Structure 1
Amino acid sequence: MSSLPINPPPRLLMGPGPINADPRVLRAMSAQLIGQYDPAMTDYMTETQALYRQVWATTNEATLLVDGTSRAGIEAAIVSLVKPGDRVLVPVFGRFGHLLVEIAERAGADVHTIETEWGQVFPVSVIANAIARVKPRLLAVVYGDTATTMNQPLDELGEICARHGALFYTDATASLGGNDFAMDAWGLDAATAGLQKCLSGPSGSAPISLSERAVAVIRGRTKVEAGIALETDEASPDVIRSNYFDLGQILDYWGPRRLNHHTEATSMLYGARECARIILAEGRQAVIDRHALAGLAMLAGVQGLGLQVFGDVTHKMNNVVAVEIPAGIDGDRARAALLADFGVEIGTSFGPLAGRVWRIGTMGYNARKDAVLTTLAALENVLRRGGVRAGTSGAGVDAALEVYEG
């Protein structure tokens, strides 16, 4: 029995991610493979590091890629920075805060949490008080949580962490590229992301940047070099408990010595490099502004359809909005109709929001006027067929157009 070639149906991915990759990224990923120590390959690695320093707004030398999805970057950061028994503070305001908790607990950390209602963010004073009380080794915060669509302000937290001797890490998977981000200015020690949201690529590569302070912590823990154990007590609780996610070894691979740790995922490197190149060619701030405009247009459009927006809109991410599923309509059936009849995908949610909201993204390559208007027109039709009065005919599209034309 022979299998047919892969031939995915056409889709407009307007959920919380992944999104449609920019065609230029897909073309870059189809380029010829070369050896991992070919001078062209190591040049591409060096170029990728330089490009992502600009994307992150940092001068960190330790700016590179972790091979794997965005979760690989998260795990690499936490397992490399945290030893068993270290106190970690995680402010939880959505699903992905719980993910940080789980990964830190698996690393053996003494994890402390504060929580707020989904759809809200923390006042800086609440996090500051928790830092003073817990005295964590690491503050780990999700920047934008797509489960709730909220963006937690980070700009004041770096100074607070520095004052209390805590490292400061953020998961910027869903936010980087589409929302304001200033690694150095905000005093971050570590940040990780993924390609599949505002960076316009596929899942499978995790950009990461580390401050000198973070690198010093990692270097102090790494007990192997190029896969060879050094003379040390291997039972020491300070040994990084992962080989694949040992950032000390990964730093050596990306550094001037090019010590082998793994075989770099060449095609993903090409894609990640192209994601950053495209952002910088358009202009880093221009890309953020494009996401902000698309987000405002989608927000106006769903409100024009009479849908209730979930959460604190003043802290909503630029690139995704959550709307309450109208009474009397089957949310999953409506999403299925949107996909089957229009080829448009939107998302549902998790935990306390499961079956309660739809999440509609405007991110990366899909943060475009035509994508916004197509989604709103299709959603209006599905709502009407489901028996929901969606304002006057064309109200969602008209409201979005007012934003674009205003």
Structure 2
Amino acid sequence: MTALPGPVSPPPRLLMGPGPISAYPSVLRAMSSELVGQYDPFMTATMTETQELYRQVWGTANEATLLVDGTSRAGIEAALISLIRPGDRVLVPVFGRFGHLLAEIAERALGEVHTIEVPWGQVFPVSAIEEAVVRVKPHLLALVQGDTSTTMLQPLEDIGALCARHGVLFYSDATASLGGNPFEADAWGLDAATAGLQKCLSGPSGSAPVTLSERAVEVIGGRRRIEAGIREEGDEDAPDFIRSNYFDLGMILDYWGPRRLNHHTEATSMLYGARECARLMLIEGRDAVMARHRLHGEAMLAGVQGLGLVVFGDVAHKMTNVVAVEIPEGVDGDAARSAMLADFGIEIGTSFGPLHGRVWRIGTMGYNARKDAVLTTLACLEAVLRRHGASVPSGGGVDAALDVYAGAGA
């Protein structure tokens, strides 16, 4: 008889890649709390508390703010499949891997998908998006805010007003950026936004915060009526719409709303973890959390430059929480990453598509956006680079980061 495995015992890791990253200890403690029934008064009160916390995280008064049980991709799919009706035109500006993901999911929702692209490492000027909106006349604009494949942060501030002028729904995926970079759902005119916990919010993957404007809720509600066969004027030829039960945001809204209509059994431990992620952010303060990400991101940026590494992409539009660097010529990128993990217990990331094997991605986010994590990573990276044949300035990375900290009084 084969021996049974022992208890789960993961090795200690410092997760300094593009995500997932190390969770806050109190998030892990919250997730080990006692389970209760899905309609226990404590459970429903916790759901209500979590909704209010995430309204503040998103910068919104949207009543329709909730969690979708699943990874950040579950939130994306729930939003797109609930907002797109077969044949609806969808515009997706693509500046990295995750723009392609939005386009794929929109196609699976049977939307008529149109894409525009810029080279990886760049972002879109508002004028390019408006030109495409005028040309395509989409029902929905789907746009990633921060794409970790390129580390770029797409400015969103003027996109909502653009969409409002042209009668277009505006959705953004903020998985990689929420909590470490500004996001103002109401002020920027978002109709829908989704994220995950495993980046700047510093929790485990498995719960997707979602917020929906009143307009988005009306669209979802109207299309559920069509799905149910309740036709209104102008709906005579409308095809069926929401093809998923699990990701039907209308049904999920009924579950999270005052009626608490059964849809699924809420993932209780993930709810506790998501609540704690938001609570910690708000205790520290939204502005303070973003300033912390900015400081440690600047220190890491200076540090990799101090090691003589070339930063990939338009630094002016880089996310605060992750930097991509060109792998030095003659260095086996995968072997160096493996050495960082095996010898020092530090994980950094590679990338995808045209950047695979060309860059490393190093994160400073959530619990790991702190001085000791930055300095330890830079010191170990220097040692690994030397072992793999790269000529790097002795102490150059740590010294450059320390200069940033000294200038900030940190």
Shorter-chain TM-score: which interval?
Answer: over 0.9
Residue 334 (structure 2) aligns with: 332
Does residue 1:214 correspond to 2:197, yes or no? no
One of 260, 270, 273 as aligned partner of 2:272: 270
The residue type equivalent to 2:157 in the other structure is D
Residue 18 (structure 1) aligns with: 20
1:77-88 to 2 correspondences below 5 Å: 77-88=79-90
The residue type equivalent to 1:10 in the other structure is P
Distance, in Å, in 2 between the alignment partners of 1:116 and 1:76 is 27
C-alpha deviation, 1:394, in angstroms: 1.0
- TM (normalized to structure 2)? 0.96
The residue type equivalent to 2:399 in the other structure is D
Question: Is this contact kept in 2: 1:16–1:320, CA < 8 A?
Answer: yes
C-alpha deviation, 1:390, in angstroms: 1.2
Residue 401 (structure 2) aligns with: 400
1:110-125 to 2 correspondences below 5 Å: 110-125=112-127
Residue 207 (structure 2) aligns with: 205
Question: Is this contact kept in 1: 2:194–2:209, CA < 8 A?
Answer: yes
Does residue 1:362 correspond to 2:372, yes or no? no
User: Tell me, what secondary structure is at the counterpart of 2:90?
Assistant: strand
Residue 65 (structure 1) aligns with: 67
User: Tell me, what secondary structure is at the counterpart of 1:311?
Assistant: coil
User: Tell me, what secondary structure is at the counterpart of 2:300?
Assistant: helix
User: Tell me, what secondary structure is at the counterpart of 1:101?
Assistant: helix
Residue 128 (structure 1) aligns with: 130
Distance, in Å, in 2 between the alignment partners of 1:197 and 1:390 is 30
Distance, in Å, in 2 between the alignment partners of 1:63 and 1:381 is 46
One of 123, 141, 144 as aligned partner of 1:142: 144
Does residue 1:388 correspond to 2:367, yes or no? no
Residue 281 (structure 2) aligns with: 279
Gap change, CA 1:128 and 1:230, over 3 Å in 2: closer
User: Tell me, what secondary structure is at the counterpart of 2:143?
Assistant: strand
Distance, in Å, in 2 between the alignment partners of 1:136 and 1:239 is 17
C-alpha deviation, 1:230, in angstroms: 4.7
Distance, in Å, in 2 between the alignment partners of 1:107 and 1:231 is 19
Residue ranges of structure 1 left out of the alignment (5+ in a row): none
Does residue 1:2 correspond to 2:4, yes or no? yes
User: Tell me, what secondary structure is at the counterpart of 1:270?
Assistant: helix
Residue 170 (structure 1) aligns with: 172
1:182-197 to 2 correspondences below 5 Å: 182-197=184-199
Distance, in Å, in 1 between the alignment partners of 2:109 and 2:78 is 10
The CA deviation string for residues 210-267 of structure 1, in whole angstroms up to 9 with x for no partner, is 000000000101149xxxx95548x952431110000000000000000000000000
One of 52, 56, 59 as aligned partner of 2:58: 56
User: Tell me, what secondary structure is at the counterpart of 2:377?
Assistant: helix
User: Tell me, what secondary structure is at the counterpart of 2:181?
Assistant: coil
C-alpha deviation, 1:172, in angstroms: 0.1
- TM (normalized to structure 1)? 0.97
Root-mean-square deviation (CA, aligned residues, Å) is 1.3
Residue 306 (structure 1) aligns with: 308
Residue ranges of structure 2 left out of the alignment (5+ in a row): 232-236
Distance, in Å, in 2 between the alignment partners of 1:87 and 1:230 is 23
Does residue 1:240 correspond to 2:242, yes or no? yes
User: Tell me, what secondary structure is at the counterpart of 1:187?
Assistant: coil
C-alpha deviation, 1:60, in angstroms: 0.3
User: Tell me, what secondary structure is at the counterpart of 1:65?
Assistant: strand
C-alpha deviation, 1:2, in angstroms: 1.5
Distance, in Å, in 1 between the alignment partners of 2:214 and 2:141 is 17
Question: Is this contact kept in 2: 1:223–1:239, CA < 8 A?
Answer: no
User: Tell me, what secondary structure is at the counterpart of 2:43?
Assistant: helix
The residue type equivalent to 1:280 in the other structure is L
The residue type equivalent to 2:260 in the other structure is R
Q: Percent identity?
A: 77
C-alpha deviation, 1:333, in angstroms: 0.2
Distance, in Å, in 2 between the alignment partners of 1:238 and 1:294 is 49
The CA deviation string for residues 54-104 of structure 1, in whole angstroms up to 9 with x for no partner, is 000000000000000000000000000000000000000000000000000
What stretches of structure 1 move > 2 A for 4+ residues in a row?
A: 229-233
Question: Is this contact kept in 1: 2:200–2:365, CA < 8 A?
Answer: yes
The CA deviation string for residues 274-333 of structure 1, in whole angstroms up to 9 with x for no partner, is 000000000011000000001000000000000000000000000000000000110000
Distance, in Å, in 1 between the alignment partners of 2:225 and 2:156 is 33
Question: Is this contact kept in 2: 1:22–1:365, CA < 8 A?
Answer: yes
